[in-house]
């Protein structure tokens, strides 16, 4: 090939490669909540699953939320953006972009739907949240099936609207994730989750109880050197949590290196323990909110965050029902939730979905424990942190 032709071929190849490279790393990801009609005098909660195919991490500098159609007596009560961190992203395909009315988004998604992290929220017509200078939230792709290769990112968009008018109104929303410039990223922020408090979640029928009632729940904590925690110091940027429909309160304490509680003054009061307050607390299981820190909270060696839940099994929330396994004994134990039921006919003597367990044929009040179904509970401490730099420490 003559020399000028070789130059032309190389130049053409570069022109073709540059757009392809940019396509692999888009500047934004746009997540759409389709238009939803909302009758007058109602406040529905609805959810949408969004799947973004990618094998590469996406570093987020800021998250923008735009609401359309709202104003006056028609308002957004909450709008939450959750990142899916499970291993069954393929299940998002069936429901991708389909609006499902569901409290807490418990009726859609894969069986590990609770593996999700709050990353943004906003009720104003237009809001934008970001991270400290030099920090980007790293979203890592997850597989379509357990053990598979990274296939994409999954998101659950959870909206609740209040229509105080007498006529039908409609609303939609757009979430825009803005990618950070690679040269500007000095620290990669990561989601964290801790479900160790669930080892203490056991509530008898008709009772309200805390995960701290059992030793395993009292010892639950996330931090440097602990299971699921970083090996170095952690710079915590956000703290939140998750509960299901029988969760009444979720509280988080800051634990010092000596094991004592070191919550700052002016924390969230605990409605079940007079005089006790927490670093963070949540009362609404459908919208726990978040503690967003202006300056990172540094967790050094021995320090931790302790999460605990107060759950209601039939006192003021619906009673958990389950298929009886031993006559006269409420079914359900830690690690073995009761098989959900409504009627005795839901409880044949055996069920392939519950291997090694037999049933008396009676649907009875059951113990409330943590588990994978919407009838079971969740007590999960979530948040976002930056692993501390060994030399520079935490971001300013």
pLDDT tens digits in sequence order for the chain, 396 residues long: 444 444 334 334 333 444 444 446 799 999 999 999 999 999 999 999 999 999 999 999 999 999 999 999 999 999 999 999 999 999 999 888 899 999 999 999 999 999 999 999 999 999 999 999 999 999 999 999 999 999 999 999 999 999 999 999 999 999 999 999 999 999 999 999 999 999 999 999 999 999 999 999 999 999 999 999 999 999 999 999 999 999 999 999 999 999 999 999 999 999 999 999 999 999 999 999 999 998 999 999 999 999 999 999 999 999 999 999 999 999 999 999 999 999 999 999 999 999 999 999 999 999 999 999 999 999 999 999 999 998 889 998
- The per-residue pLDDT for 3 is 40
Q: Minimal CA–CA distance to 27: which of 179, 167, 192, 214? A: 179
d(CA 261, CA 240): 18
Torsion of CA 361, 366, 368, 374, to 10 degrees: 40
Residue 396 confidence (pLDDT): 85
Nearest to 36 by CA among 23, 48, 51, 52: 48
pLDDT at residue number 392 = 87
Distance CA 141, CA 148 (A): 11
DSSP character for 91?
G
Q: Count each helix (H run) and each strand (E run) in the chain, helices first.
A: 3, 25
Distance CA 253, CA 24 (A): 41
| b/e map 139-167, b = 16+ CB within 10 Å | bebbbbeeeeeebbbbbbbbbbbbbeeee
């Amino acid at each position: 090939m003559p020399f000028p032709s070789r130059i032309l071929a190389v130049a053409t190849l570069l022109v073709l490669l540059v757009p392809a490279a940019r396509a692999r790393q888009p500047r934004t990801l746009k997540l759409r909540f389709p238009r939803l009609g909302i009758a007058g005098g109602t406040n529905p909660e609805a959810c949408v699953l969004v799947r973004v195919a990618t094998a590469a991490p996406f570093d987020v500098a800021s998250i923008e939320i735009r609401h359309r159609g709202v104003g006056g007596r028609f308002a957004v009560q909450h709008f939450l953006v959750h990142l899916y961190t499970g291993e069954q992203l393929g299940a998002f395909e069936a429901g991708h972009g389909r609006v499902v009315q569901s409290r807490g988004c418990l009726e859609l998604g894969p069986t590990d739907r609770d593996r999700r992290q709050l990353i943004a929220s906003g009720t104003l017509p237009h809001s934008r949240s970001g991270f400290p200078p030099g920090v980007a939230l790293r979203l890592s792709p997850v597989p379509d099936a357990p053990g598979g290769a990274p296939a994409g990112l999954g998101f659950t968009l959870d909206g609740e609207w209040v229509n105080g008018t007498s006529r039908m109104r409609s609303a939609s929303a757009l979430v825009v994730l803005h990618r950070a410039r690679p040269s500007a990223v000095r620290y990669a922020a990561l989601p964290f989750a801790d479900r160790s408090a669930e080892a203490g979640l056991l509530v008898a029928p008709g009772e309200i109880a805390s995960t701290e009632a059992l030793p395993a729940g009292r010892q639950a904590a996330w931090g440097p050197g602990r299971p699921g925690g970083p090996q170095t110091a952690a710079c915590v940027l956000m703290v939140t949590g998750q509960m299901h429909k029988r969760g009444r309160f979720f509280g988080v304490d800051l634990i010092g290196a000596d094991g004592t509680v070191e919550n700052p003054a002016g924390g969230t009061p605990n409605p079940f323990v007079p005089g006790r307050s927490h670093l963070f607390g949540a009362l609404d299981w459908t919208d726990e909110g978040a503690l967003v820190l202006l300056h990172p909270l540094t967790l050094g060696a021995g320090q931790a965050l302790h999460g605990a839940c107060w759950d209601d099994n039939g006192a003021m929330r619906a009673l958990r029902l389950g298929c009886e396994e031993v006559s006269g004994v409420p079914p359900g134990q830690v690690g073995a939730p009761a098989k959900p039921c409504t009627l005795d006919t839901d409880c044949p003597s055996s069920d392939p979905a519950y291997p090694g367990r037999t049933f008396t044929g009676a649907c009875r009040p059951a113990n409330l424990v943590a588990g994978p179904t919407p009838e079971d509970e969740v007590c999960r401490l979530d948040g976002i942190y930056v692993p501390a730099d060994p030399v520079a420490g935490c971001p300013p």
